[in-house]
Amino acid sequence: MGRRKRNTKPLLVLKDQEPVQTDTGLLEQFYQTTHGRADRQVDSSMLRPSLAHVESAGRWEVEIDEDAYAVRGVRIYLPNVATPSRAYYPFPVHLDTAHGQRLAMRWLNQMMDMHYTLNSLERLYLKKTYEDLSQAISSALQQFVGRYQNAILVLSQERTQLLEQSGLKSLNGHAQKISFTHSIDFVAALSAPQDRYLIRAISIMDQLIALYDRAYLIVDLPQERYVQGTENAYRMVDSLMAECLRQARTQSKQWLADADSRSGAGSI
Give the start-to-end residue ranges of the domains of the chain.
26-263
Q: Provide the whole-model pTM.
A: 0.59
- Per-residue confidence at 152, pLDDT binned at 50, 70, 90? very high
What per-residue confidence (pLDDT) applies to 6? Answer: 37
CA distance 43 to 28: 12
- Alpha-carbon span 132 to 125, nearest angstrom: 10
DSSP code, position 72: E
Q: What is the pLDDT of residues 36-45, one digit of tens each?
A: 443 444 333 3
Q: Find, among 90, 82, 70, 89, the residue nearest to 15 by Cα.
A: 82
Q: What is the DSSP letter of 16?
A: P
The per-residue pLDDT for range 177-207, each reduced to its tens digit, is 554 444 444 444 455 667 778 778 877 887 7
Residue 67's Cβ-count burial label (10 Å; 0-12, 13-18, 19+) is: exposed
β partners of residue 189: 88
Contact 83, 191 (CB under 8 A): yes
Indicate the average pLDDT of the chain: 62
Span of 48-62, 97-111, 167-181 with lowest mean pLDDT: 48-62
- 238's enclosing H/E stretch is helix 223-267
Strand 71-73 versus strand 183-186 pairing type: unpaired
* pLDDT band per the 50, 70, 90 thresholds, residue 165: confident
pLDDT in tens, 201-260: 877 887 788 788 778 877 888 888 988 998 898 889 888 888 988 888 888 888 877 777
Q: Please tell me the distance from the alpha carbon of residue 16 to that of residue 189, in angstroms, as a whole number.
A: 12
| AA identity, residue 251 | Q
